[in-house]
């Protein structure tokens, strides 16, 4: 029953917030609904700036992560629809700002619009500590000395920690951090306690999914795949994991490694190690975000399947498609992108970031892999099955054609 209660609360919260989002979109657009799969047509988009000014944006991330790209894509499409980003700006279904040519094309298309992305304003730390520090210093120096950046988009927890700095005296939007309060990016509450800083707060997602996982399996020892660096553990909601463990009385068994370093390669090496170790000590395993999603995931987790150990992915259904048993996620990040577009539009209009709500309620979907369920000998209860939004019957592996 606890599972159903959680999902009913999530559905109600999403429905309420979706109505607000829809109302805002309708008021701002009065056009066709936003389509994420194509570049918007010139006919439907105004190309004048309502406030007679432009805002120059720089972006920074500690390293590549799929959700950053998804949110940016949806945010930019929404801003194009509103006429705040020029209609010539090309953002397609497979747009990836980590591709230099694609980002340069986007920046050139946005030049001269109300909101423009600086062609040399994308900073990437590649999940390398020294490079993260260097890019952080470079962008801060540029803001203070060149004064050609009007707003920063800081993607993720690490970049958020580095740029939750009011001394820069320009707005900073921290996009999709895992748990901004535990990471000390921002204080508690709906509104920012730092001048110029706005943070997207996804309310209680990680706590809720852990409680759901526990409610289903009642595990005593939870194995957690976690990055070896404390600052990256904040991006994986590790403090929340420990709090839920204390609340429910189960033991956390951390298995640490280079989850973020070198993207997919670092994560899969750690998962191979942890799959073997946790199969001997845990009765459930929680796989945190970091790196990418590899087609080698299924093989890495085989020791867990052989022991009948259930798994849950913090990252989402891309992991479930590759063998993880369960996840709770917003796979397209459309609503997250619209949320950030709403925030950016208000800041562009001159609204104080501290007066804009930071609370975001994600439309989370429960995904299950039935192949894995059969493999570990688990037959989901009816209340679990009726809550499932996405079912995978097979597993994507390195041998999948």
**Is residue 46 over pLDDT 50?**
no
Give me the chain's average pLDDT, please: 84
Q: What is the mean pLDDT of residues 216-232?
A: 92
Angle between helices 2-29 and 334-348 (to 10 degrees): 40
Can you tell me which residue has the tokens 């259930």?
Answer: 310
Among 259, 262, 218, which Cα is nearest to 237's? 259
Question: What's the confidence (pLDDT) of residue 41?
Answer: 31
**Is residue 40 over pLDDT 60?**
no
User: Higher-confidence residue: 337 or 40?
Assistant: 337
Tens digit of each residue's pLDDT (9 = 90 or more) over 145-163: 999 999 999 999 899 999 9
Q: Count of alpha carbons within 13 Å of 191, Cβ hemisphere only?
A: 6
Question: What's the confidence (pLDDT) of residue 266?
Answer: 62
d(Cα 21, Cα 15) in Å, to the nearest integer? Answer: 10
Burial label for 281, CB within 10 Å (0-12, 13-18, 19+), is exposed
Question: What's the confidence (pLDDT) of residue 401?
Answer: 55
User: Which domains are seen in the chain, by residue range?
Assistant: 15-203+333-360 (3.40.50.2300), 219-330+364-392 (3.40.50.2300)
Q: Whole-model pTM above 0.85?
A: no
Q: What is the mean pLDDT of residues 361-383?
A: 91
132 Cβ contact partners less than 8 Å away, ≥ 6 residues apart: 62, 63, 125, 126, 158, 162
DSSP-derived letter for residue 44 is: G
**Is residue 222 over pLDDT 90?**
yes
**Is residue 261 over pLDDT 50?**
yes
Question: What's the confidence (pLDDT) of residue 92?
Answer: 82
- Is there a contact between 343 and 173 (Cβ–Cβ < 8 Å)? yes
Could you tell me what percent of the chain has a pLDDT over 70? 84
**Is residue 319 over pLDDT 50?**
yes
Confidence of residue 31 (pLDDT cuts 50, 70, 90): very low
**Is residue 312 over pLDDT 60?**
yes
**Is residue 389 over pLDDT 70?**
yes
Q: What is the mean pLDDT of residues 130-159?
A: 95
Lowest mean pLDDT, pick from 23-37, 56-70, 99-113:
23-37
Lowest mean pLDDT, pick from 14-28, 305-319, 333-347, 352-366:
14-28
Confidence of residue 124 (pLDDT cuts 50, 70, 90): very high
**Is residue 241 over pLDDT 50?**
yes
Q: What is the mean pLDDT of residues 280-306?
A: 89
Question: What's the confidence (pLDDT) of residue 260?
Answer: 74
What would the 3-class secondary structure string for 40-99 be?
CCHHHCCCCCCCCCCEEEEEEECCCCHHHHHHHHHHHHHHHHCCCCCCCCCCCCCCCCCC
Provide the 3-class DSSP secondary structure of residue 252.
strand
**Is residue 371 over pLDDT 80?**
yes
């Amino acid at each position: 029953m606890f599972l159903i209660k959680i999902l009913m609360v999530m559905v109600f919260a999403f429905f309420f917030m979706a109505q607000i989002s829809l109302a805002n979109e309708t008021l701002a657009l009065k056009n066709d609904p936003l389509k994420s799969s194509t570049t918007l047509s010139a006919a439907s988009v105004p190309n004048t700036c309502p406030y007679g000014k432009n805002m120059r944006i720089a972006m920074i991330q500690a390293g590549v992560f799929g959700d950053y790209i998804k949110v940016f894509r949806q945010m930019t499409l929404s801003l194009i629809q509103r006429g705040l980003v020029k209609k010539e700006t090309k953002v397609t279904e497979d747009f990836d700002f980590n591709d230099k040519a694609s980002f340069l094309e986007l920046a050139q298309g946005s030049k001269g619009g109300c909101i423009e992305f600086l062609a040399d304003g994308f900073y990437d730390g590649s999940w390398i500590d020294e490079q993260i520090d260097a890019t952080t210093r470079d962008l801060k120096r540029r803001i203070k000395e060149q004064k050609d950046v009007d707003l920063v988009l800081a993607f993720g927890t690490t970049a958020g920690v580095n740029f939750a700095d009011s001394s820069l005296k320009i707005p900073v939007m921290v996009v999709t951090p895992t748990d901004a309060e535990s990471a000390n990016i921002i204080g508690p509450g709906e509104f920012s306690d730092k001048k110029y800083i706005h943070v997207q707060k996804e309310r209680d997602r990680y706590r809720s999914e852990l409680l759901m996982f526990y409610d289903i399996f009642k595990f005593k020892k939870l194995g957690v795949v976690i990055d070896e660096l404390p600052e990256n553990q904040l991006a994986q909601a590790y403090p929340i994991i420990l709090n839920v463990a204390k609340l429910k009385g189960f033991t956390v068994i951390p298995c640490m490694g280079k989850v973020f370093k070198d993207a997919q390669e670092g994560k899969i090496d750690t998962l191979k190690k942890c799959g073997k170790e946790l199969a001997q000590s845990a009765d459930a395993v929680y796989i945190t975000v970091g790196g990418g999603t590899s087609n080698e995931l299924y093989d890495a987790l085989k020791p867990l399947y052989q022991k009948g150990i259930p798994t849950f992915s913090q990252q989402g259904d891309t992991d479930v498609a590759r063998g993880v048993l369960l996840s709770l996620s917003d796979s397209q990040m459309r609503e997250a992108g619209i949320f950030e577009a709403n925030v950016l539009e208000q800041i562009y209009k001159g609204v104080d970031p501290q007066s804009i709500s930071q609370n975001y309620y994600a439309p989370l979907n429960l995904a299950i892999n039935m192949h894995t369920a059969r493999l570990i000998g688990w037959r989901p209860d009816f209340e679990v099955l009726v809550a499932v939004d996405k079912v995978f019957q097979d597993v994507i592996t390195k041998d999948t054609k």
